[in-house]
Amino acid sequence: MSAPISEISELADRRSAASLAALQRYERADEPEAVFLADMLARIESARARSRREGFARASRGTGPDRPLRVLLLSYAGAGNTGADLRTIETIRQLHHLFAPRRLELELFVLGGLLDHPVLASVRKMPLHAPYIPDALDYAMPAYDLVINVEGSTYTSKFSDALAGILIGGVALAVAHGSRAFAYGVDSGKMTGALTRFAQQSADGVDILCRNESARHDLAALGIAARSGADCAWTYVPLRTACVAGLGEKVVALCPTNPFWWPVTARAAPSAADSAEDIGTPPRYAGAYFHTWDRERAFAYREYVMRFARIAVQLRARGFSPVLVAMEQLDRPACADIAAQLDFQPPIVARGVAALEDVAGVVAHASCVVTTRYHAAVLALSRGVPVFGLTLDERVERLLTEAGLDGWYAACSDADGDEKALARLFDDRQDWPALRAHCLAFANGERARFAQMGAELAAAMAR
């Protein structure tokens, strides 16, 4: 017998009030991200205890091949990040292929409203039934058979411990509620002590597939079991759109960002005391989250902008057409700052102004690419396009090293980064056809590993 509607409504009201109180406590905390991780862990442990007490098991979910498979994708989709969106798109396509003809009921956890691709636009968005994300995820998990974290930058504090907490904690919550859960093609990086402990406490029962061996080794050192896989974006094939064709031939895609204003942290609005001469206050990321910013970071960023500008000048002098590409909406200021240093006006193809397909297509159809963005490197290599990385962290360096492209990267803070890039791009001794074939061969191997990830996922769901 079901509960009366009035009781259900009263329970929902109490839940909403409790969640709102938790949200306000988090927002007012001196260390809000530590509070967020603690709250996520509390929901995970509560769900684990309830499952043990009530005897929930995966077998009791009872979804046979004649019933739809209910899937939640945890992602960074909607925020205008091309790489995150490509990963999500290709995972959705793979899932439809793996489980056909079974019907999938897909839902997508999004962090914004920019869904300018038909695959993203067609998927139902996860409704938030609570104001505080840990509660919203906790309430939602019993509705799903399979939960997949499709964001690559997962085990890292580089961007935000709260975002990492959503991704790591979301799949842990799924397992605690009796679902299957995968971290799909994920990477690692430096983590705070709080996030490290949270990752260790949340790993049980989650199938973790890393996109490179370095990440797998990093997690193993923390006692977190993981297997090798690949990034999820390798199978994306960008079209040669009218925007791309209109740029002409001998295009070099320059894909900058601001490497120095991460991580973002929750805090009260910056005050006058936060301001430094010539750099202003910390830029707002979204809501109560602000980028990290100070005089040292501002100086490093200005030098980085000048390095990209010098690369653009030298490319143009040698007959190439430099195009500035904002792989994420957040990269548009960096593109504008570089353009402002030039005595010519390079095209800027920016996500949020141009569509995903145009942004991805410029990179994939370029003659070569210089990038700080990881997925610009993936797009380039997947089409056999040589790429030089000005690296923000270990991700691009790992990728190019595994691709056998030693010497094709420099740290974004290296004073001679532009000279290293130009030396590689204009090395007369380089066998360019062989280099392109090498890039394609590596990309084919990554595509095979992504297919193997899918096979492992399908096998796990069949058990």
- Express each pLDDT in 144-165 by its tens digit: 999 999 999 999 999 999 999 9
pLDDT at res. 8: 47
Cα separation, 296 vs 255, in Å, equals 23
CB contact set of 177 (below 8 Å; sequence gap of 6+): 47, 51, 56, 141, 142
- Please write the tens of the pLDDT for every residue from 61-110: 545 667 899 999 999 999 999 999 999 999 999 999 999 999 999 999 99
Look at residue 168 in the predicted model and tell me its pLDDT. Answer: 98
pLDDT recorded at residue 120: 96
CA angle 373, 295, 194 (to 5 degrees): 65
Helix or strand or coil: residue 33? Answer: helix
CA distance 207 to 184: 8
How high is the pLDDT of residue 286? 83
Q: Is 326 left (phi over 0), alpha (psi -120 to 50) or beta?
A: beta
Q: What angle do CA 377, 111, 323 make, to 5 degrees?
A: 35
Say which amino acid occupies 89: I
Angle of helix 161-176 relative to helix 32-54, nearest 10 degrees, comes to: 0
Q: How far apart, in Å, do the first and last CA atoms of the chain sit?
A: 32
CA gap 324, 308 in Å, rounded:
10
**Cβ contact 179:61 at 8 Å:** yes
Report yes or no: 277 and 16 within 8 Å, Cβ to Cβ: no
CB-CB neighbours of 357 under 10 Å:
19
Strand order in the sheet with 264-266: 264-266, 289-291, 284-286
Kindly report the backbone phi and psi dihedral angles of residue 149, in degrees, each rounded to the nearest multiple of 5, phi listed first: -85, 110
Q: pLDDT by residue (tens digit) across 321-377?
A: 999 999 999 999 999 999 999 999 999 999 999 999 999 999 999 999 999 999 999
Determine the Cα–Cα distance for residues 175 and 376; give it in Å rounded to an integer.
33
Contact 50, 85 (CB under 8 A): no
Q: What is the pLDDT of residue 63?
A: 57
Q: Which helix (H) or strand (E) element contains residue 132?
A: none
For residue 55, what pLDDT is reported? Answer: 76
What lies within 8 Å, CB to CB, of 219 at 6+ separation is 155, 188, 199, 208, 210, 225, 226
Coil, strand or helix: which one is 439? helix
May I ask the CATH architecture of the domain 5-235+449-462?
A: 3-Layer(aba) Sandwich (3.40)
Q: For domain 242-426, give its CATH number from 3.40.190.10, 1.10.10.10, 3.40.50.2000, 3.30.470.20.
A: 3.40.50.2000
Strand partners, 349: 325
pLDDT, averaged in runs of 10, over the chain (463 residues): 52 81 91 95 96 67 74 95 98 97 96 94 94 96 97 95 97 97 97 97 97 96 97 96 94 97 83 70 85 93 98 97 97 97 98 97 97 98 97 94 95 96 92 96 98 97 90
Strands 289-291 and 264-266 come out as: antiparallel
**The pLDDT value given to residue 277:** 67
Nearby residues of 1 by Cβ (< 8 Å), 6 or more positions away: none
List every span in the chain annotated with CATH 3.40.50.2000: 242-426
In whole angstroms, what is the distance from residue 380 CA to residue 406 CA?
Answer: 16
What is the β-pairing status of strands 153-155 and 180-188? parallel
Per-residue CA distances from 50 to 39, 180, 401 (Å) = 17, 17, 45
State how far the alpha carbon of 117 is from the alpha carbons of 77, 113, 149, 352, in Å.
Answer: 11, 12, 20, 12
Closest CA to 292 of 257, 327, 258: 258
Residue owning tokens 């905390």: 29
